[in-house]
Homo-oligomer: A and B are copies of this chain.
Amino acid sequence: MAEPLRLADLGEWGLIERLGAFAPQGQFDDDGALVSPDGDHGLVVTTDLLVEGIHFSDTTMGPGDLGWRAAAANLSDLAAMGCHQVVGLTVGLAAPAETPWAWVEGVYGGLSEALAHYGGTLLGGDCSGSQQRLLAITALGRLDPARPIRRRDGRPGDLLVSSGAHGLSRLGLALLQGELEPLGDPELQERAITAHRRPRPRLDGLAALTASQPPGEPWRVAGMDSSDGLGQAVAAIAKRSLCQAVLERHQLPLAAAMAELPQAEAWCLGGGEDFELVLALAPAWAEALVEQLAGAQVIGRLEPAQPSDVSGWVTRPLRWADGTALALADAAGFSHFH
């Protein structure tokens, strides 16, 4: 008898694909779900799990950082959908009975700090005992349904834009875990650790997109956030848009001070948790956006999918501009089923 199929065999992306079959067509395509597409105020809902030992650990951050980060990860999904307003969060907290109240208080303090900064309130939640600490956050936000950001809206010829540097969060994690010796550059050290502990969701992206929209150009913005890695984000946009993404090695969005590290390219593409926006836009719009949004840069372009790719499913969504392969394994993001 064949072994039963386990979650480890599917991986996170394979599992999400199967779970999407229980939802209406297209519902699982983006960073969040659009609930009310009618009227002026579409509602977006998005859910994230953070599990101790996988997404966080006491050795790399305090409870206030964890709370901030948990909120930021969800607000980043709202930003990636094009939300102009954060409504708030619900928080499910599971923790062992011996967990100190002070830890929980710190987590909710960090969540509240992020909400005070970006808007929205704590809406409610639930708590339970468990063997392992876990946060389940659901965020609600509002967008203009005529101005969404969707993965599938890329077109061949679009330029790919990253809202900021990538790889810093992974560098910060390496430093906090002792995987790397402290850096000679204390400013980079501090910046990387802050990027890991206190990521900033790019809720400012929408205003820059609106301000840079060329006159007469209809709203069409493809995008997602880079929480699972820059390469993963580019690949997802390319796949959903039935395109191939072409990245320029010399345009990788690396913090200048980080470029010398041997891990720079791998962490830039696959480090994950930078919570930047990755967008595909008509060239004139992309160039105007880069002028508008400090730190943003063009990183490549979308081309028609290769003829060898089966219609409706792009098997090789990424390549380097010089023609060399950019295997998805190089930019695999996270697999949370070890």
Contacts and interface: CB of A to CB of B under 8 A. Distances in A.
Given A47-B92, A88-B35, A101-B5, A131 B128 contact: no
A122 B7 contact: no
Interface in A87-101: 87-88, 90-101
A49 B128 contact: yes
A132 B54 CA distance: 13
A35 B141 CA distance: 11
Interface residues of A, number: 70
A126 B47 contact: yes
B101 A47 contact: no
Interface in A290-334: none
Contacts of A134: 94, 130, 134, 136
B6 A100 contact: yes
Interface stretch (A18-26, A245-253, A273-281): A18-26
A105 interface: yes
Interface in A37-59: 43, 45-51, 54-55
Given A22-B108, A35-B87, A88-B35, A132 B131 contact: yes
Contact of A94 (B24, B49, B98): B49
A117 interface: no
Contact of A6 (B99, B111, B128): B99
A184 interface: no
A207 interface: no
Interface string A135-150: 0101010000000000
A23 B130 contact: no
A4 interface: yes
Interface in A195-223: none
A6 B97 CA distance: 7
A104 B18 CA distance: 10
A178 interface: no
A112 to B, nearest CB: 5
Which residue, A8, A90, A111, A136, has most C-beta atoms of chain B within 10 A? A136
A27 interface: yes
A130 B8 contact: no
A60 interface: no
A64 interface: no
